[in-house]
Structure 1
Amino acid sequence: MAASWVTRRLFCSAVAETAAPVKTGRWERLKNSRAGVWFRSMCSDYKEACREVAVGAWERPVRASVYAALLGGVWACFETRPDDASFDEALLERSNRLGLLSAWIRSSASDGHVQTLVKLRNEGRLRHLSLGPLSLVYRADHDPEASLYEARCSDLSPPWRELPGRVLDVGFAGRWWVLDSKMKDYDVNEDEFKHLPEHMQAAAAPGAKEVERNESLHKDSWLPLEMKEEEEEVNAAAGKQDGVVEQEPMKSLEEEQTPAQAEA
């Protein structure tokens, strides 16, 4: 009887230990949760992708270099993309540069483009749009703070298909290309040369010899003047005059003595 009771007791304790829940830590519970399993699978996928990229770059170095150069170029375009503040700065700098020139000297194309942009900026009608590596500046119909019905109604706003016709400048690689192209030869007034023949309206670029000759002449213009030849001529003329002056008294004495000798 005692033996059966001991056996039953041992059996019940073994069953109780088997049915008791196993205590796990917080990290183990988080690791085995749904979010932990998803995170581990994602890390495993990224690890496998990085390993494949490394193996592919080792097997095809040329292709890997081209891809790396493309990615680096795109990243550089993102970093050097100009913003609206840089456009305002460039516009004001070009406007001040044109303001230093007379109206008879500045280019009409450059001045007209800059004045149009300045007018739109003062009216609050310039808009800036970022397109990844590119930046666009386009013209709007109204100021954003205007309270007119046409400016507030979304149904009357211009459609996106009209955006290419409203674009005024394109920013790429740290430059505003349209503004820079319009400012080319801004200090040359093309209207002054319209009456000239076509072959005289455009001047050819000077060659290397002409540039060297002009530079040498410019350097020589800063040197002090040398008056050696003129000084020699002046000294020679002065010497001749002194010789004439010295010989004239002798001739006069001879002339005075000649009549006396004749009477003797």
Structure 2
Amino acid sequence: MSRWRPLSRTLCSATAAAAAPAAGSRLERLKKSKAGVWCRSLLSDYKEACREVVVGSWERPVKASLYASLLGGVWFCFYTRPDQSSFEETLLDRSNQLALLSPWIRNGTSDGHVQSLVKLRNEGRLRCSSLGLVSVVYRADYDPDASLYEARCSGLAPPWRELPQRFLDVGFMGRWWLLDSKMKDHDVNDTEFTHLPAHMQDTAPPSVQEVETSERLHKESWLALKVEEEQEEEQEESTVADRKEESGGEENQTQAVKE
């Protein structure tokens, strides 16, 4: 057995030496192939582009900050872009706000706009399309589950030129701007003051003194009334005044007697 050990070691070393060049040759062939050359050129291009970005940002920090802010704003607008479920949730919230108010103090514009949108939602005619950074809500003619021929035929679909007439709202940065604008002063009924004169219809914000006076009167209205104490004080004052008058009359009489 001891005689075969040197021979086995020699054969193993020869096999390893023969396998190493073969592996190296495969790697070299892979590097020199078209795919290897293309991958190395692509990596070198990316490396050079990253180096130029870093060097340019260091040399022009203001320009780099401006580009970074612009990209961050675009990403934020894309990330906060609302969808149809967000519109329906906002619509139901605004409808509940109006439902808590009396019909006499609701704003007619806000109530009419919200009620029309709720009707379209119940009919399944609301559609929402994403345009990248913004979302657009428009009305359709039929529910998507309707089986009518007019609803299924693509040739009878409304043309694109009618889209501005079907436009309902635009979503941007997590808000529905037209719906929010319609809900401004939703608890103020403008028709409630039409019978008033013109000079009384125009109102102005109160001054600082008027606000302070109103707050003071409001705080005083919560204080407890002290009627009994005030009456007792008035009685005491009246008795003191009567005593003074009596004492003054007695002094006058004594002086008259002395004279």
What is residue 162 of structure 2 aligned with on the other side?
162
Letter paired with 2:35:
A
Q: What is the correspondence of 1:97-136 to structure 2 with a 5 Å cutoff?
A: 97-136=97-136
What is residue 236 of structure 2 aligned with on the other side?
235
Q: Which moved more, 1:59-68 or 1:212-221?
A: 212-221
What is residue 56 of structure 2 aligned with on the other side?
56
Note closer, same or farther for the CA distance 1:192–1:69 as it changes in structure 2 (3 Å cut).
Answer: same
Instruction: Specify the structure having the higher radius of gyration (Cα).
Output: 1
In structure 2, how many angstroms separate the alpha carbons of the residues matched to 1:34 and 1:238?
120
What is residue 76 of structure 2 aligned with on the other side?
76
**CA deviation vs aligned residue, 1:218-254 (integer Å, no higher than 9, x gap):** 233323345554431033346789x7xxxxxxxxxxx
How far has the Cα of 1:159 moved from its partner? Answer: 1.8
Q: Secondary structure at the match of 1:24?
A: helix
Q: Secondary structure at the match of 2:55?
A: helix
Q: Secondary structure at the match of 2:23?
A: coil
Q: What is the correspondence of 1:1-264 to structure 2 with a 5 Å cutoff?
A: 23-24=22-23, 31-226=31-226, 229-237=230-238
Letter paired with 1:211:
V
**CA deviation vs aligned residue, 1:67-102 (integer Å, no higher than 9, x gap):** 111111111111211111111111111111111112
In structure 2, how many angstroms separate the alpha carbons of the residues matched to 1:103 and 1:169?
25
Letter paired with 1:231:
E
In structure 2, how many angstroms separate the alpha carbons of the residues matched to 1:224 and 1:39?
87
**CA deviation vs aligned residue, 1:14-61 (integer Å, no higher than 9, x gap):** xxxxxxxx6236766655443333233222212211211222222221
How far has the Cα of 1:196 moved from its partner? Answer: 2.8
Q: Secondary structure at the match of 1:53?
A: helix
In structure 1, how many angstroms separate the alpha carbons of the residues matched to 2:218 and 2:27?
82
In structure 1, how many angstroms separate the alpha carbons of the residues matched to 2:35 and 2:224?
87
**CA deviation vs aligned residue, 1:124-149 (integer Å, no higher than 9, x gap):** 00001111111111111111111111
Q: Secondary structure at the match of 1:70?
A: helix
Letter paired with 1:58:
W
How far has the Cα of 1:171 moved from its partner? Answer: 0.8
Q: Secondary structure at the match of 1:68?
A: helix
In structure 2, how many angstroms separate the alpha carbons of the residues matched to 1:202 and 1:34?
81
Q: Secondary structure at the match of 2:130?
A: strand
How far has the Cα of 1:182 moved from its partner? Answer: 0.7
In structure 1, how many angstroms separate the alpha carbons of the residues matched to 2:216 and 2:47?
67
TM-score by length of 2: 0.77
How many residue pairs end up in the alignment?
223
How far has the Cα of 1:198 moved from its partner? Answer: 3.6
How far has the Cα of 1:170 moved from its partner? Answer: 0.9
**CA deviation vs aligned residue, 1:174-210 (integer Å, no higher than 9, x gap):** 1111111111111111111223344432311223333
Identity %: 68
Letter paired with 1:135:
S
Note closer, same or farther for the CA distance 1:52–1:105 as it changes in structure 2 (3 Å cut).
Answer: same
How far has the Cα of 1:116 moved from its partner? Answer: 0.2
In structure 1, how many angstroms separate the alpha carbons of the residues matched to 2:210 and 2:69?
42
In structure 2, how many angstroms separate the alpha carbons of the residues matched to 1:42 and 1:175?
42
How far has the Cα of 1:211 moved from its partner? Answer: 2.6
Q: Which moved more, 1:91-100 or 1:118-127?
A: 91-100
Residue segments in structure 2 that go unaligned for 5+ positions in a row: 1-20, 244-259
TM-score by length of 1: 0.75
Letter paired with 2:87:
F
In structure 2, how many angstroms separate the alpha carbons of the residues matched to 1:180 and 1:109?
12
Alignment RMSD: 2.6
Letter paired with 2:132:
G
